[in-house]
Amino acid sequence: MNKFLKDSLQELDDLEIHLDLPDDAVSDFFEAQKEGLKGWVEKTKEHLQSVELGEEGNKLKAKLEHMQVQLALGKAEGRDAFEAQKEKLEHSINDTASQLKKWEDGAEAGIDKFSDDFHQMADAFKDRLELLRLKYTLGKADLKDEFEEKRKDLKDKIQAIKSKAPKEEDGDDKWDEVKEEIGEAYDHLKKAVRGIFS
């Protein structure tokens, strides 16, 4: 089965689990997400040691180091602390993405996998931040019913996307047939999660 498909299905499974996360586990989950991204940043920095970086690459390395600082901030207890860290992390991710684009434009071939990995990791992290934001917002009793309705809707959408995914025995031909449809459905799901706050 295609690696991208496996990763996408795993992310959908994770998303479904996160929708059911108990309120008292939210800050621990946030810390776990930060640790995951922190590990990826550390591995990436190690990899960059073996690459000729140039000026833009050195700026990228500095952005990754700044991201590490943001990820090392203390545990976010409560919604206000979470929102402050979320804002700083999203800003750092966006700055790193922008610098990565500058580096890609002037770099030699072969960094596509690094770029794809970064964007996939960053998008997944931001999606999880939105879910956590939703969980923190639920502290208000009047939002709990609305959340339950949205949660059920999101879980239904996740199941619909997973049902369209080809099975391992179907091979890559089936994946080619449905990948665009699954991609569109997944983008719609992410917009729905973000749209809860609009």
- 52 HSE (CA, 13 A, CB side): 5
pLDDT tens digits for the chain (198 residues)? 455 556 666 666 665 555 566 666 777 888 888 998 899 899 888 888 877 778 888 898 899 999 999 999 888 877 788 889 989 999 999 999 998 888 877 766 556 677 788 888 888 888 878 877 777 666 554 556 666 676 677 777 777 777 777 676 666 666 666 667 766 666 666 666 666 555
Nearest to 27 by CA among 63, 86, 75: 75
Structure tokens belonging to residue 119: 């964007």
Q: Are 86 and 129 in contact, with CB atoms under 8 Å apart?
A: yes
> How far is residue 52 from each of residues 14, 48, 55, 59, 160, measured CA to CA in Å?
36, 8, 10, 13, 44
Q: Does the CA dihedral 22-123-58-45 come out positive or negative? A: positive
Helix axes 171-195, 112-137, angle to 10 degrees: 40
Q: Could you report the per-residue pLDDT of 7-61, keeping only the tens digit for each?
A: 666 666 665 555 566 666 777 888 888 998 899 899 888 888 877 778 888 898 8
Name the residue among 183, 197, 142 with its Cα closest to residue 4: 183
Q: Which residues have C-beta within 8 Å of that of residue 122, sequence separation ≥ 6?
A: 93, 96, 97
